[in-house]
Structure 1
Amino acid sequence: MELYSEALQYLASHGLPAMEEEEEAVDSDLLQDVFSDDTGWVPNSTEVPGLPDTPTYRSPEDLLEKRLLLLREILISEEVYLSELETLLTPMKALRASAGTSQPVLSIEQVQIVFYQLPELRDLHKEFHSGLRARLQSVDMEPGIPVQLQQRDLQLSVGDLFLKFVSQLGLYRGFIDNYESAVQIVRKSTQSNPRFRVLAESMMYSKGSDGFRTKYTFEALLYKPLDRVTKTTLVLHDLLKHTPCDHHDSNLLQEALRVSSSFLSGVNEGSQQKRAVTLSRGERRQLVRDGFVVDVCEGGRSLRHLFLYTDLLLCVKLKGGTMGRQLHYRFCWYMPLAGLKMHWAAEQDPSADLQLKISNMRAKMFHCRRMLQEYMRESKGSVSRAADRCRRKLEACELWLLTHTPSFILELHSPNSKSHIIHLSSLHELDEWREAISKHKTEDLETVLPDLLSLANSCVKLRMTQQLPLCCLQPEKVNSMCGSLSVVVHTACGLQQPASVYVCVEVDGFEIFDRRAQTCLSSYSLTPQWDQELVLQVDGAQHLRLLCLSQSQEDIMGRATLQLDSLDMLKKWKKMTLNLGLIEVIISIKYTPHPLEPPSFTPLQQKTVFSVLIGDVARQEGVLVPHIVRSCVEEIERRGLEEEGIYRISGASREIQALKHAFDTNYWEAVSKVRSVDVNTVSGTLKLYFRELPEPLIPTDHFQSLSKALDLADPYHRAEMMLSELQSFPDVNRNTLLFLLHHLKRVAQKAEQNKMSLSNLATVFGPSLLRSPVASLNHCGPPVDISQEVEVQVQVIYLYLQNQNLPEAVTTKLLETEEEP
C-alpha cells in the first residue's frame, strides 16, 4: 500500500475536487519538521515570477479541436498500456505449467499472487480501447474539409465510455491491495532463482507501428497498472477542461471524474503514515537545497523547481503569481534518496537545425537587450511600457535558451525502476547537486512515505531560491563585466596519481554568448600543464568557476569559484593560484571591456589540424606549440626513448591514418589513442603532421639564408647566424621548432638504446621541416639542385641539434602578469 499511496499523492497535488480542502491548508507541523528549531532560518516570502500556464483556448471550436487531439492521444496511450499488460501476462501460462513439475519456478500460489487481477484489468482496458477507437474512426477528419463543415465530427460523444470505464475501477482495488505481496515475490525470486531472474530482466514489448522494442524488468512492468490508475483522474480532468460546458459530454465527464476521484480518495483514506516525517534513521525531514532545473518528460523539456530533502528529491512546477492568482506549486515527481543511483554526462552536440535556432535566438536576445538598455537610458532608469515589453521578450528568449542550449545531463535511477533525467546548464551547479545528494543518500531501502500534497504546498514558503535563474530578471550590477574575459590555464599540482585531466571554465551572465570553455586534455602526468588561453565574450559576468576533471568525464576532481573584480584585472594579466580542494590550478586572467558584436553562428565542430597552416592551428588553440605536437612528444618521451629505431621505423599506415583522423575530428579520442597505440605509430603521426604542413615549419624564405650560413667556415659565426635566423621566424614556428629540437636532443641521449643519433634524427626530420623555394608556392627565385636541397635540409637540422645555446621553447604567449599578493 505504501507505493500506491505515494502514487495517489501525485493526483492530490493537481488540485482535484476530492482533495480541495487539503490543498488550501499547509500543515504547520510540517513546516516545523522541515526546518529544525536550531537552524534559526526564517523562510523568505519573496515571490518568484510565475511560469506560463496552460494556454487558454478562446473559442468553442478551439476547445473541440484540442479535445479531439487529446482523445487521439488517449487512444495511443491505451494501446501502449495494453501492450505492456500483454507482455506482463506473457509468462503466466509458462509459470503455471512449471508449477506442476518437479522443478517449479514459482508455486501455484505465488503465480496467483503475482498475476492477481491482471487478466481482468487487461479485459477492462481492451473493451474501453475498442469502444474509443470505434468512436474516433467514425469521425476521422478528412484533409481539405473546412473546420465549419466538421462541427458534427467535433461534437463526438465519449462520456458514456469513460463513465462505464470508471464504474469498474473497483477491479484495481484488488490489484492495489495485492501489489506489495506481488512485488515481494518478484524481488525475492529475482535474487534467489536464476531462471526467474533471466525472465524478470528480459521482459520486452513492441511499441508503435515501427515495432520498436523496449526493454523492461518484470518489476517495472508490474508497476504500470499502479501508475495507470492514478492517471485516470488526471485524464478526465484534462478532458473536461477542453469540453465546452454546453457539450452533451460535459455532465457525463463530470460524473466520471467524481466517481474516479471518490475511488482514489477512498483508497487514500486507508493509507498509513500519511503525516510521518521522522525518518527511519531517527532524523527529521529537512530541506537541504533547492534550485531550478530543466526536467525531461515525455521527450519535452520544461523548467522545474527541484527540492532536495534529507530523504527525497521533490520536483514541482511553479504556478500562479500573475493576474491575482495565488502562487503555488504543482507536484511533478519525487524520488527517495535511499538506493538512488546517479550518472552524469555532457549532452551531445545539437543537430545543425537546433544550432541554427539557438544562434537565431541568441541574436534576437542580443538586440532585445540593446533595445532595453536604450529604453532605460531614454527614461532615465524608470520602466516605460516599451521597456517592460522588451524585458518580457528578453525573458522569453533567455528561458528558451536555458531549456534548449546543450547542457549537462544528470540521470537519476531508483531501485523501484523509476528514472528521471534533469539538465543543468552549469557543470559547477551539477557537481553541487551531486555532492549534496550523495551526502544524504543511503543504501538503506527503508523510507518514510511523505505527504506530497502538504510537502508541495509548503515549498512556496520553504524555498531558498528566490527567482528563476534568468539574468534578465536580476538588477543590473555596476561591477558586472561586458567585453572579453581571457583566462590562461597554466598548470596544476596535487594529483594523487598520474592522470590525463582538463580544466573547465564557466562564467555567469546572459545566455547570449557561450559561457563555458575548456582546455585540451593534458598528458598523463602528476603535474599536468596546458598553458592554454581561453577567451570568453561576457555580458553581465560577475563570477568565474573553475573545475578540474579526469578524462573519463565522470570524476570531477575539484571546483572553485572566483569573484570577478573588473578593476583588478582591467587590461592587464593577473596571475593567481586557485584551490580546488586537493588540487591547485595556476591561472592568469585579464578583462578587456569593449562593445560586443552580435553573436555569430559557428557550427559546433572541431577544426582540423592536419594540412592547416601551423599558425592557424596554434591561434585557434590559444597556444604557441600546437597540442598535437606536445601530445605526441610527451607520449614518446614517456615510453619511446629507448625504443630501437624510434622515428626511423614507422608504425602501421592504417593506424597512423586512424590517429590522424582522431586528431582532426575528436581530440579526446586522439589523446586516448596516443596512450594505447604502438609508440612507432605516434612517432609516425608526428612526422606526418610536419610533412603535410602547407608551409614548412622553417619558413621557405629562410632557405637561402640558412644555406649561406652553412658555407661559413667559422663555426662560431655560423652558429650565430643560424640562431639569428631562428629568432626571425614567426613566434609559432620558432617555438614549435625549439620544442621539437630539445625533444630530439633527449632522444639522442638514449642513442645507445634507440640507435638514433643526432645525424640520424636530422636525416629523418630535415626534409619535413625545411623545403627548398622550388617546392613552395608562388616562388619566383632560382631553382635549387636536388642534391643541394637534401644537404641543406639535413645540415640545418643537424647544426641546430648540435647547438648548445638553443633557447627554451615557450608553449604559450608570455604574459605581463601581476602575482597574486
Structure 2
Amino acid sequence: MELFSEAVEYLKAYGISPVTEDEMMDSDLLHDVFPEESDWGSHGSMQTEPCLPSTPTNDNPDDLLQKRMVVLKRVLLSEEIYLMELETLLTPMKALKASAGTSQPVLSTEQVQTVFYQVPELRDLHRQFYTSLQTKLHPDNVMGQGSQQSLGRDEGPVMHYQGEHHLSVGDVFLKFVNQLGVYRGFIDNYENAVKIVQKCMLSDQRFRILAESMMSSKSSDNVKTKYTFEALLYKPLDRVMKTTLVLHDLWKHTPPEHPDSITLQEALRLSSSFMSGVNERSQCKQPVMLCRGERRQLMRDGFVVDVCESGHNLRHLFLYTDMLLCAKLTNAGRQAQYRFCWYLPLVGLKLHWTAEHLPSSEYQMKISKTRVKMYQLKQALLQHMKGSKGSVSRAVDRLRRKLEECEIWLLTNTPSFTLDLHSTSGKSHTVRLLSLYDLNEWKDAIEKQCGNCIETVPPDLLSVTSSCIKLRMTQQPPLHCVQSNESAQICGSLYVMVQSACGLQHPSSAYVCVEVDGFECYDRRKQTSLSAFCVTPQWDEELVFIVDGAKQLFLVFVCQYENDTQNDIVGRTVLNLDPDNMFKKWKKVTCSLGHVDVTLSLKYVPHPLEPPSTTPILQEPVFCVPIGQVAMQESVLVPHIVRSCVEEVERRGLKEEGIYRISGASTEIQALKYAFNTNYREAVSKLRSVDVNAVSGTLKLYFRELPLPLIPCEHFSELSDALDIADPFVRADSLLSLLQSLPDVNRNTLLFLLHHLRRVAERKEENKMSLSNLATVFGPSLLRPPVSRVDISQEVEVQVQVIFLYLQFQNLPEALLTKHLDIDDLES
C-alpha cells in the first residue's frame, strides 16, 4: 500500500503515530470511497518510494535473486571506478615525497603524510574486496586479468556462476565491513588534508597546476576524466557514506532462506554502528570554509518531489551558498534525522523548467478519487470537532492523520512543474513542484546564488547532512491540513477574469498562470491560453476556482519569444484573499509582475462546497458543436479557436499568396482539429509550428462543420430580400439591422472574422486575396439556406454577396470578445 511509504515517515518524524494499513482498510468510510486503494503502488513511475523495511520484502524468490544480481553488478562496477579514482589520487604521492627532500619542496614530508593519510590502506582494502567479489561472481576474470573487458559499462559484469540460489557473497561483505575502521582515521584527518591542499594551491603554482588537472580513466574506451585534487580527496568520504545503503539494498533483495541473509544482516548492523559513531563525531567539526573565505550558509530550503529511477519521492531540498543538498527525513528511534540523497555544486549549474504532461486517464481517476476521499475525511473531521467540545478525541486525531496522508500523496503524485538541474560534472537531477510560483522562487534563488558562487570545495556531507535538522527553516511538508490558523480563509467560488497586460519590451506569446492555496480537494492551478505575438497581449478569459480554505492567489507571467521554444518567466506576484474584503461584484485589479502590469477582475461567491467530481474534467470538443455552447463553456463571446487561428494567420500569413484559397495539408488540419477537441493548450502550440495554410484551413473547417451556420438559416430569406433593395443606403441599413439581430456570440464572432478578412484584403497585392475572393471562400460556410430551398445558383450568389457587402461597410461595428463586467476599479 504505497500511499503510506513517504507519508508515514514524515508523520513519524513529527511525533505523530500514523494509522496502520489495517486500520485504513478497516475504515468503512474509506473503503466505500476508495475500494481500489491497495492498487496505488502498481502505477509505474508514479509510485512513491517505500520506506526501508524491517525485514526483506516478500517478493517472489526468483525476482529477489534477479534484483540482487543487479545490485551486485552495480557494486562491482562502482568499486572498479572508485579504485581508479584512488589510484589517480595516489599517483603524485611518490613524486611529492621525493621533492620533499630537495631544496625546493612542493610539500614537506609532514604535509605529504597528512594529505595522503590512510589513502594507500583504503586502496588496498578495496582492491582486496573487489578481487574477492569478482572472483565470486565471475571466476574466469580476476583483478589484473582483463577486468576492463569483463565489465560492460551498460550491462555490468558478465556473470558465469552455478547455483544462483546458493551464490554466497555475505562473507566478502562481512570481512570488508569489519575493516571499515581504516576509514575512521581518514575521516578524522580529512579537514587537515583539505586545509593543506587549499593553502598550497594558493602559495605554490606547481602544486596548483597539479591539483587542478588530475586525470582518471573511467570507462572501457579509456576516455579520461578530469578531477581536482580536492574532489578526489572527497571520494572516500562519499564512498563510506554509501556502504550502509548498499548493504541494505542487497539484504532487502536477498531471500530470507538464502545463506547470505544472516551474514548480510550482521554486516549491515556493523556498518550502521560504524556510521552512527562517525555521524556523532562529525557534528563537532567546524563548518567548512569556502575558497573565498566565507562560511557555507543555508539560503533556502523546502520540500520538493525528487524524480529518480525508483519513482517520485518527497524530499527536503537545501540551498547553500555553494551547493544544493537533497535529503530524506527519517525517524531513527525517537529523533528525526536526515539521510543524504544527492548534492550538486552551484558552480556552472544549469537550470531548465517545463510543465509536466497530464497523466493517463486511469491515473487521473485515482487522483480524483483521492480528492473525494480527502473531502469526506475533512467533513467527518469537522463533524467530530463540533462534538468533541474542545477536547481532541481519538477519532479526531485519527481522521486528521488520514487527511495528512492523503494530502502528502496528492502532493507527491499530482501533475506539476519540473525543474531540471544539470551540473558541469555531468550529473543531473530533476525535482518537481506543485506550484509554478514556488518553482520560480526556487529558480531565482538558485540562479542568484550561482551568480555569486565563484568557487567551491567538496562538502563534508556527513557534517552538512547531520546539521540539516538544526539549520532547516521549513519544518514540515506544505500541508494545508496541519495549519493551526483557521481564520481569514475563503470557501466557495473564486472567479478570476484575466484581461490584458502591458509593459512587454518585445513582441511575444504569453500566458498567465493563476494558482490558489488551500486544500487539494479541487484544482488549484489554471492558466490562460497563449496570446498572439504582440507587446500588449489580451486574453479576456475567465478562470473559475472552487476554493476550500484559500488565503492567497498567486500570479505568474510567462512569455515565449519568437524562434524560442523555451518559456521565460517574466514576473510573479501574490494577492492576499481576505473574506471580509472579497466582492460579490467584479473588482478590477492591476498587478505588477516584474516589468509587466496585468489587469484582471476578481469576484468571490461564498457557498457550501459540494464533493469534487470522481470523473476527471476533460475538455469538451469544439468542432461540430453549436458555437453558442462552445462560447458558454469558455465564458467568451468569440470562441478561442477562432481567435487563435485568426491571430496566427495575421502573425505570419498576411503575405502568403492564396491564404484561405490554397488549402493546407489534410493531415495537419486533422491533427489541429483533434488537438482543439482534446487539449487546447497543445493545439495553440501546434499552430505555431504547422504550415500557415493548415491554420487557415482549420479555421475554414471549423465554420464549415458548425451544425448550425454562424448566420442562422432563418435569416437567409431576409438577407436575400435585402439584396434586392435598389437604394444602397436603405440596403446597408437593412443588412446592419439584420446583423445586430443575430445572437450575441454569432454577431460578435462574425464581426471579429469580418474585420480580420478586411485586414487580409489590405495586403491583396501580396496575398492575391481581395474582398471578393474572401467572400467567395467564406460565404457558403457562414450563411446557409433553409433545407426547403432548391435553387443552388441563387443560394451561392446570396451567400457571397451578403458577406461581400458586409466586408465593404465603412461603419462596421467592432466585436466584443467577452461580456461586459459590472466592475469597480481597484489599483494594487
Tell me the TM-score normalised to structure 2 length: 0.73
Give the 3 Å change call, closer, same or farther, for CA 276–49 of structure 1 in structure 2.
closer
SS in 2 for 1:355: helix
Residues 240-284 of structure 1: per-residue CA shift (max 9 Å, x gap): 899999999898667645765798899999999963433212223
2:306 maps to 1:295: yes
1:475 matched to which residue of 2?
Answer: 484
2:465 matched to which residue of 1?
Answer: 456
- Correspondence for 1:683 among 688, 693, 696: 696
Contact 1:506–1:516 (CA<8 Å) still a contact in 2?
yes
Pairs within 5 Å for 1:259-270: 260=271
User: 2-side partners of 1:561 and 1:471: how far apart?
Assistant: 17
User: 2-side partners of 1:71 and 1:269: how far apart?
Assistant: 35
Give the 3 Å change call, closer, same or farther, for CA 481–225 of structure 1 in structure 2.
same
Give the 3 Å change call, closer, same or farther, for CA 676–186 of structure 1 in structure 2.
farther
2:133 matched to which residue of 1?
Answer: 125
One-letter amino acid of the structure 2 residue matched with residue 816 of structure 1: D
2:719 matched to which residue of 1?
Answer: 706
SS in 1 for 2:546: strand
User: 2-side partners of 1:474 and 1:270: how far apart?
Assistant: 36
1:647 matched to which residue of 2?
Answer: 660
2:750 matched to which residue of 1?
Answer: 737
Percent identity of the aligned residues? 61
Residues 84-112 of structure 1: per-residue CA shift (max 9 Å, x gap): 6789999xxxxxxxxxxxxxxxxxxxxxx
Give the 3 Å change call, closer, same or farther, for CA 340–381 of structure 1 in structure 2.
same
2:324 matched to which residue of 1?
Answer: 313
Q: 67-76 or 637-646: which moved more? A: 67-76
User: 1-side partners of 2:650 and 2:21: how far apart?
Assistant: 68
1:561 matched to which residue of 2?
Answer: 574
2:804 matched to which residue of 1?
Answer: 798
Give the 3 Å change call, closer, same or farther, for CA 460–189 of structure 1 in structure 2.
closer
User: 2-side partners of 1:197 and 1:134: how far apart?
Assistant: 23
Pairs within 5 Å for 1:398-477: 398-442=407-451, 446-475=455-484, 477=486
User: 2-side partners of 1:636 and 1:300: how far apart?
Assistant: 43
Q: What's the CA shift for 1:817?
A: 1.0
Give the 3 Å change call, closer, same or farther, for CA 127–583 of structure 1 in structure 2.
same
- Report the count of equivalent residues: 706
Residues 193-217 of structure 1: per-residue CA shift (max 9 Å, x gap): 9x99986399xxxxxxxxxxxxxxx
2:397 maps to 1:388: yes
Q: What's the CA shift for 1:355?
A: 1.4
2:577 maps to 1:577: no
2:255 maps to 1:231: no
Contact 1:295–1:421 (CA<8 Å) still a contact in 2?
yes
Contact 1:483–1:592 (CA<8 Å) still a contact in 2?
yes
Q: 392-401 or 674-683: which moved more? A: 674-683
Residues 70-94 of structure 1: per-residue CA shift (max 9 Å, x gap): 777444300233456789999xxxx
User: 2-side partners of 1:519 and 1:761: how far apart?
Assistant: 31
Residues 95-135 of structure 1: per-residue CA shift (max 9 Å, x gap): xxxxxxxxxxxxxxxxxx9xx87876543222454799989
One-letter amino acid of the structure 2 residue matched with residue 303 of structure 1: L
Give the 3 Å change call, closer, same or farther, for CA 162–534 of structure 1 in structure 2.
same
User: 2-side partners of 1:347 and 1:261: how far apart?
Assistant: 38
Q: 351-360 or 723-732: which moved more? A: 723-732
2:100 matched to which residue of 1?
Answer: none
User: 2-side partners of 1:235 and 1:643: how far apart?
Assistant: 63
- Correspondence for 2:289 among 260, 272, 278: 278
One-letter amino acid of the structure 2 residue matched with residue 344 of structure 1: W
User: 2-side partners of 1:786 and 1:666: how far apart?
Assistant: 38
Contact 2:620–2:677 (CA<8 Å) still a contact in 1?
yes
Q: What's the CA shift for 1:430?
A: 0.8
2:55 maps to 1:76: no
1:163 matched to which residue of 2?
Answer: 174
Q: 586-595 or 293-302: which moved more? A: 293-302
Give the 3 Å change call, closer, same or farther, for CA 366–134 of structure 1 in structure 2.
farther
Pairs within 5 Å for 1:473-622: 473-475=482-484, 477-551=486-560, 552-603=565-616, 607-622=620-635
1:783 matched to which residue of 2?
Answer: 789
Contact 1:48–1:468 (CA<8 Å) still a contact in 2?
no
Residues 597-624 of structure 1: per-residue CA shift (max 9 Å, x gap): 2222455765543333323333333322
2:34 matched to which residue of 1?
Answer: none
Contact 2:64–2:254 (CA<8 Å) still a contact in 1?
no
Q: What's the CA shift for 1:399?
A: 1.0
1:764 matched to which residue of 2?
Answer: 777
One-letter amino acid of the structure 2 residue matched with residue 485 of structure 1: L
2:14 maps to 1:49: yes
Structure 1 gaps, min length 5: 1-46, 91-112, 141-156, 203-219, 775-781
Q: What's the CA shift for 1:423?
A: 1.6
1:626 matched to which residue of 2?
Answer: 639
One-letter amino acid of the structure 2 residue matched with residue 77 of structure 1: V
Q: What's the CA shift for 1:229?
A: 5.2
2:200 maps to 1:200: no
Q: What's the CA shift for 1:325?
A: 2.2
2:345 matched to which residue of 1?
Answer: 336
Q: What's the CA shift for 1:820?
A: 0.7
User: 2-side partners of 1:457 and 1:272: how far apart?
Assistant: 7
One-letter amino acid of the structure 1 residue matched with residue 775 of structure 2: A
Q: What's the CA shift for 1:303?
A: 2.1
User: 1-side partners of 2:411 and 2:703: how far apart?
Assistant: 43
Residues 625-672 of structure 1: per-residue CA shift (max 9 Å, x gap): 122222232233334445444333444445544544554455455445
SS in 2 for 1:648: coil
Q: What's the CA shift for 1:372?
A: 1.4
Contact 1:273–1:449 (CA<8 Å) still a contact in 2?
no
- Correspondence for 1:812 among 779, 803, 818: 818
Residues 522-571 of structure 1: per-residue CA shift (max 9 Å, x gap): 11111111111111211111111111112345411111111113343422
Give the 3 Å change call, closer, same or farther, for CA 656–234 of structure 1 in structure 2.
closer
Give the 3 Å change call, closer, same or farther, for CA 198–440 of structure 1 in structure 2.
farther
1:102 matched to which residue of 2?
Answer: none
User: 2-side partners of 1:803 and 1:765: how far apart?
Assistant: 17
User: 2-side partners of 1:330 and 1:380: how far apart?
Assistant: 41
- Correspondence for 1:365 among 358, 364, 374: 374
Give the 3 Å change call, closer, same or farther, for CA 382–804 of structure 1 in structure 2.
farther
Contact 1:189–1:197 (CA<8 Å) still a contact in 2?
no
User: 2-side partners of 1:264 and 1:62: how far apart?
Assistant: 18
User: 2-side partners of 1:500 and 1:748: how far apart?
Assistant: 25
Structure 2 gaps, min length 5: 1-11, 23-52, 85-119, 140-158, 198-208, 226-230
Give the 3 Å change call, closer, same or farther, for CA 646–392 of structure 1 in structure 2.
same
- Correspondence for 1:325 among 315, 329, 334: 334
